Amino acid sequence: MPLSSPHLPRRGVLRTGLGLTAAAGLATLATPSAASASTRAAEDTPPTHPTSANGWPMEPQADTTGTIWTRQVPGSSVSVALRLGEAATVLVHVIRRYHYEIDTLVDGEVIGFRPANGKLKGYATNHASGTAVAIRPTWYPKGTKDGLFPHQLATLRDILKECQEVVAWGGDFRHPNESHFQIDVPPSDARLKRLAARIRGWEDTPGQGAGTLTLGA
């Protein structure tokens, strides 16, 4: 074959092809695909829960993760599902003071945890993290005000003052909801821990705690 021929000999073509194939195979073994890398990354990343409006993780349902439990409100027939820990300590205290000092509550009148299921919006998502309660929601429809008598409102203001901005009341919202109470700080807020510790101290001391405090305490 002439040296000037543009064609490679058949044997040379075969050697070249085999070499390219082997190189491609080695490259494939040496470099993981983007898909497999992303799959491993997804497997290594722990699952995260979406957060409610106040920054707490929402839970899919109660009593499955050990995070949401039903609590009995001492001195009443009320039981309510809440997030264990400081959030439950504070909200149970609020409900208990309401029961003793504003009006007597019975079981079924307080709603705590509710799964989001795509239906809860805005501050209502706090129910899905177990950090909000609705006290007598049918008595105080959303958007209405002045559902409490003056002496009841004065006591409620004292409860909020005692909670030192850790708890927010829906009656103060732009679109009021006077049945709504929520933890208004994120999980890491030191004020929540201090308030919960203070409440636990009251519970351990005779003559202190819900039902015994005076206005302005």
| 97 and 185 housed in the same domain | yes
Q: Is residue 117 included in any domain, yes or no? A: yes
40 shares its domain with 72: no
Q: What is the pLDDT of residue 61?
A: 79
What's the confidence (pLDDT) of residue 65?
64
Give me the average pLDDT of each 10-residue run along the chain (217 residues).
Answer: 44 42 39 40 49 94 79 96 97 98 98 90 96 97 95 98 97 97 97 97 66 47
- 13: its two tokens: 């073509």
Rounded CA-CA distance 171/59 in Å is 26
Q: How many domains does the chain have?
A: 2
pLDDT confidence of residue 204:
66
pTM score: 0.73
pLDDT for the residue 207:
53
In a domain, 215, yes or no: no
